[in-house]
Each structure stands twice: as C-alpha cells, then as structure tokens.
Structure 1
Amino acid sequence: MTLKKTKSLAEVKVGDQLAELSIPITVTLINGGAIATRDYFPGHHDKEAAQALGSPHIFMNILTTNGLVERYIEDWAGPLAKFKNQKIKLGAPNYPGDTMTFTGEVIERDEATRSVVLGFQGKNSMGNHVTGTVTVELP
C-alpha cells in the first residue's frame, strides 16, 4: 500500500482548486454514520419516524457531514496535514438517493503558521448541504 503524498506549503497558492468529489447518499451511509457517532435520533435511521417529523426520508446527521468534510480535505492535503480549524454551516438535508458533490479552493495562505484556509461546499440536488472553511497546517 502506498501512502498518499502530503502537499507542501511551497506547492500551494491562493486560488488553487480542489478536485471535485461526489458522494452517493445512501441509507447505509446515513445509518452507518449515525450509529458510528452514537446518534440514535430516529430521523437518522427510521424512515417512518423521520416522516412523522415531516421529513420525506431519513437524513444525514452533522457528525457524518463533518467526517465527509474531513475526508474531502484530507484527500486533497494528504495524511500528514494537521487540521487546525473547521467551521461548517448546514443547509439542505442529505436524503438517500441523492448525491453530494464537494468543491473547494485555497482562499488564504500563511507562511508564518505554514497553514492554508480552504473554502468548500457540498451540494446536493436541493442546494448546499454544507459550506465552510477548514484551516490545515502543511509541512
């Protein structure tokens, strides 16, 4: 198994675009994320309970969304990048049968702290599911 290369600060500039990442939203992803994060709220695993709450189907929890954001950023930065700050804002829910597509770009670069700030969004068919920024320190 080959370890993915971690980006260095020297190779990154403001305006660099992150590769797009599409994630199919499935019942298994939503259920698994809720169980893994010990979120037993019925809206994340019981369709009838979610519908009783006015939702058309079960919906993704925030901790699963956070994990997917971290995956997206780490896929770009590499395994030795250090997460320093993550700010997200939720929007449209993620329901099974949809796809969330991440896009992002480098919006700040700081030589003194060896860090970059990445702006990103994860969109589904209803609009932005998640938007935010992540600061990572690069070697």
Structure 2
Amino acid sequence: MTTHVAVWWQDVVVPAELAEVADQVDYQRVVMNPGATWDYFPAHYDPEYARRQGHPTIFVNTMHVAGFVDRIATDWAGPYSRVVRRKIRLVGSIYAGDTMVGRARVVAKRQDDAGRLLVDLEITVYNQRNELCCPAEVTLQLSG
C-alpha cells in the first residue's frame, strides 16, 4: 500500500522537477476506460476500425490521458491537493501496448484573490518512444 505524504504550499520550491511517472497501458485497459465512460468511439475498442483510420491499433481516449495527468499532479501533491484547472492538448496517441511516460515540473505558486494557495505545473505525456502525446497545464490547490 502506498502512503501519500502531503505537500504543503509553503514548502513548494519554484522551479522544481517532479519524478517521472510511467504507466504500462495494455489492451484491456484501453477498452475498459471508454466502456466505463460511455465513450464508444470504435477506435478505442475495435482494432480493425483503428487500422482503417490509419492507426496501428486501438488507442486510449481523452479521459484516460486527463486522468493520468491528474494522477501525476495529485500523487506528487498528496491527499489534500485538488485540481482546480487542467488544460490538455492531444498531439499524439497512446496505443494498446504503449507505456505512458509523464514528466512534470512546478512552474509557479501563488495565492489568488479568494485566498486559495495554488501551484502551477507543466506536465508532458510521452510514449515509450519519447514521442510527445500530450502537453498539459495543471493548477492545484494546496493546504498551507
């Protein structure tokens, strides 16, 4: 069992590199996510359809990538963090059998007008071939 330690806003150093996160994506996981989210686009579960569209096989959906981005941020920040903003751009695909590799860095921290303690992260998701698949920006609210 993994124990997550909270990162406190006052202890956050800017800039800072976060540990790389890797996640193997097998065929079953590619199919399970769109099934759970009712995203029935055929390229997420039908390899023949995906090939007819120019892909080597099925690929993860947007929510799968967004969840991975959030996981990178909140696994680092701990159980008292909350994602308050996420911006992602899909520029490549993660296929069944690929490994998602997430790299992140802290780029800013601030207190907003409402008094929330915020930390901005830049996160990039690559595949195992080091091809960029998703640049992302995440803002977390942390405890003081």
Shared fold (TM-score, shorter chain, > 0.5): yes
- Matches for 1:1-139 after TM superposition, within 5 Å: 4-112=4-112, 113-124=116-127, 125=129, 127-139=131-143
Shift of 1:101: 0.8
SS at match of 1:23: strand
**Is the partner of 1:90 in helix, strand or coil?**
coil
- TM, length-normalised to structure 1: 0.93
- The sequence identity of aligned pairs, in percent, is 32
Give 4+ residue runs of structure 1 displaced > 3 Å after superposition.
Answer: none
Give the TM-score taking structure 2 as reference length. Answer: 0.90
Cα separation, 1, equivalents of 2:125 and 2:135: 6
1:71 deviates by: 1.1
Post-superposition Cα deviations, 1:103-132, rounded to whole Å, max 9, x if no partner, equal: 111001104431010001011126111111
Contact residue 92 and residue 126 of structure 1 kept, 8 A: no
**Alignment length (residue pairs):** 139
The CA deviation at 1:72 is 1.2
* C-alpha distance after superposition, 1:18-58 (max 9, x if no partner): 11101112111211111111111110001011112221100
- Letter in structure 2 aligned against 1:101: V
Residues 42-85 of structure 1, C-alpha deviations (whole Å, 9 max, x = no match)? 10001011112221100111011111111111110111102110
- Structure 2: tracts of 5 or more residues without a match: none
Q: RMSD of aligned C-alpha atoms?
A: 1.5
Extract unaligned runs of 5+ from structure 1: none
